Amino acid sequence: MARDYTLHTTSAPAHRIDYRAELNDQQFSAVTAPPGQALVIAGAGSGKTRTLTYRVAYLLDNGIPPENILLLTFTNKAAREMVDRVQALLPIETNRLWGGTFHSVGNRLLRKHCDRMGLRQGFSIMDREDQKDLMDTVVGSSGVDTTTYRFPKPEVLGDIFSMADNTGVELEELIVARYPYFEPVAEGIAKVREHYTKKKLETNSVDFDDLLTMTLRMFKENEDLLERYRKQFQFILVDEYQDTNTLQCELVDLLAGPNGNLMVVGDDAQSIYSWRGANLENILKFDARYPKAKIYKIEVNYRSVPEVLALANKAIEANEGQFRKALTPAREGKGMLPALVALDSPSAQAGFVAQRILELREEGVDLSEIAVIYRAHYHSLEIQLELTNRGIPFQITSGLRFFEQAHVKDVAAFMKFAINRQDEVAFMRIVRIVPGIGAVGAQKMWAAWLKSEASSGEVNHDTYSEALLKLTAPKKALKTWEQFAFTLGEMFDATGKTVPPASMIRSIVEGVYDDYMQTKFKNAEQRKQDLEGLSNYSVRFGDVSEFLSQLALVGGVDTDEKPNNSARDRESVTLTTAHQAKGLEWHSVFAVWLADGMFPNNRAIDDEAGGGLEEERRLFYVTVTRAKDELYLSYPVMNFQSRDGEVLQRPSRFLQELPQELMEAWNVRSVFA
């Protein structure tokens, strides 16, 4: 029988850091917590990173060897910053500390023991493009029928498999819950997954998710390895714990064991990523899994003025699933309450944002200290146009500029070809969304189109469709091609004139493009919302050419979105979704489109029982806590809907939950110069 033997390390020198002087009382309690399990609830702007950094330093300062500390983060940048800060605090070599993302640590462990999982030394990690190529090969060789019903593209298959891996949900159950439009091909998807798993082993390759799933399985199947690393990782620390998914949580619990030294740091009020697999229950039920765990709350906020903080505390109050806390300000007040601004229309809202930004600039606030935050990317449409027209530089962290996105350009290509039957670029773009038509086939069809009478001269909607149907499409494409032709025909009325832009967009999406998005893009629903927003915006244009010209002019503005390239770019307003804004802060924040159905969105409102509305409220909380000094809460009272005309919008229920005395109502009126 093996004998247990305790090695006593030499006494650590007296603390080289005055922790009492460097930390507030709450931070100090968490940093100097005794061994065991601890949950640190760190509110927005409370110094979470500082607390975690000093915790690592405290362990090292007390003689814990670096190799016995495991620090798990969500970005390598966060891990490097914390380790660099520790290095600056202590004259200790920290390169032996295990710090990094879940995936980088998983990779490191698999490299050491790949033989246990049927891999060979030097195995490859596939990036998204590699994964797509291998998936293409697997789909082609699996014998799955992809012609009878529209089958997901490799990118979407990868997303489905990843979600199943990270949430621990069975594939069939996941498809029913999240991808119901693929239920008819669920059996084929399962078969592809099986072949894909085998193919990865054959090619000695892993994808990103394998770095965690295989590491977890390796420890479950090899008790000697699990015991070895439990002994090595004497102290495990996890950053942003509220963002962990089921897989990550299980891996941490397995490595820590029921009695390990585990400290997790996070803020349940900022858990906003359930749509990509994050599980709020991980943090809410931490003390249920670890009954001896101590809970520490860090509630002193160093970011925001008291006026903003008072509103933030009320913004999250209605949520039932949370650790109750009350952020207290470290800063003094400035006497300016958050502004509640109701505008007549989306364009008026954009005008207000632009004008107030220019005023703030005159008051000495750098443009880089100003952000416009919205729930969905399409909410930035009018604001992008207004900032462009006024010459206000901006950078977008929520994605490409609205009119540069693939799905927007696809729909625009349909419209371009409808009014210009000689537009080869538009034709080549749109026909290739039809399954079975590749570059060569598209070129042949274009050549045939040019020979037809319909390619030039006046043509009504019937002959337009008929002319397209005369083109020879591949057998695999016939069914979709027929719908494609009818969709283009719907862009003309009975007299042969083009219908309004909003009707065109609706025909394109409902005719062929919605199905295409579901199989092509991982975030199909978000893109569909973008196109609904584009349709609503287009209502103000009666002429298709005028609408397309506006898109081209805005999309073609000479801007450089790399923020470090010039002085102009360094001083630019940030446009971002609330999700992308997490972890950032600005002097002044404009939270826009705060209307029911927009923020919160309708999907969350309908999913109130399932927790969707509470997550949406957390997202609102994240939004308002980004502001350091000034916060503007706005919404358009009237909105043009392409289907319903002018619609009266209710202010967001999140605004209605706030005490009116915490905000100052701004009555905005338009004056024409």
Residue 532's φ and ψ, nearest 5 degrees, are: -65, -40
> How many other C-beta atoms are found inside a 10 Å radius of the C-beta of residue 460?
14
The residue type at 496: G
C-alpha 405/C-alpha 159 separation (Å) is 20
217 is catalytic: no
Closest CA to 344 of 642, 663, 654, 635: 635
Q: Which two tokens stand for residue 269?
A: 């009020």
CA atoms within 13 A on the CB side of 78: 17
498 is catalytic: no
194 is catalytic: no
421 is catalytic: no
CA dist 288 → 291, 319, 618, 628 (Å):
5, 20, 23, 35
CA dihedral of residues 324, 329, 335, 337 (deg, nearest 10): -30
From 22, 32, 49, 424, active-site residue: 49
Phi-psi region of 47 (alpha: psi -120 to 50; beta: other; left: phi over 0): left
From 159, 210, 239, 530, active-site residue: 239
The residue type at 43: G
Closest CA to 490 of 460, 531, 453: 460
C-alpha 505/C-alpha 507 separation (Å) is 5
From 51, 146, 215, 270, active-site residue: 270
248 is catalytic: no
Q: Which helix (H) or strand (E) holds 632?
A: strand 627-636
Write down the residue that tokens 């004497």 correspond to. Answer: 234
The full length of the chain comes to 673
Q: Which helix (H) or strand (E) holds 38?
A: strand 37-42
Phi-psi region of 566 (alpha: psi -120 to 50; beta: other; left: phi over 0): beta
Q: Which helix (H) or strand (E) holds 530?
A: helix 524-538
Closest CA to 268 of 42, 482, 491, 589: 42
E strands, 134-269, in order:
205-206, 235-238, 261-266
Mention every residue, 6+ apart, whose C-beta is less than 8 A from residue 555: 401, 403, 404
C-alpha 113/C-alpha 427 separation (Å) is 52
CA dist 485 → 64, 283, 402, 482, 508 (Å):
70, 52, 27, 5, 11
Phi-psi region of 245 (alpha: psi -120 to 50; beta: other; left: phi over 0): beta
Q: Which two tokens stand for residue 599?
A: 């923020």
> Angle 424-431/406-419 helices, nearest 10 degrees?
130
C-alpha 216/C-alpha 210 separation (Å) is 9
240 is catalytic: yes
From 48, 55, 416, 582, active-site residue: 48
C-alpha 134/C-alpha 221 separation (Å) is 28
The residue type at 161: F
Active-site amino acid positions: 48-49, 239-240, 270, 626
